[in-house]
Amino acid sequence: MFRDPLARMFVDEWHSEGEAREIIVGRLNNQRLALVVFLESPPDHIRIISARYATANEQRDHEQFTG
């Protein structure tokens, strides 16, 4: 998912108090669309906060964004 060229990444502004959480929406190896909330921790580590398959609305938004 982190290597998906069409993945969409943005800051989780609602839950980033005290830590810079980010959200990525992209395709897994099995081509299912998923949403992952994570933190980047130095040096070059990623801490996953949550991960789940995208909802129908999130899938629709992603398809509109990626064309």
CB 25 within 8 A of CB 12: no
Question: What are the structural domain ranges in the chain?
Answer: 8-66
Average pLDDT over residues 11-34: 87
According to the model, what pLDDT value does residue 16 have? 66
Q: For 5-23, what is the HEC assignment?
A: CCCEEEECCCCCCCCCCEE
Q: Please say if the pLDDT value at position 17 is more than 80.
A: no
The model's pTM is 0.82
Average pLDDT over residues 14-42: 88
The per-residue pLDDT for range 30-43, each reduced to its tens digit, is: 899 999 999 988 88
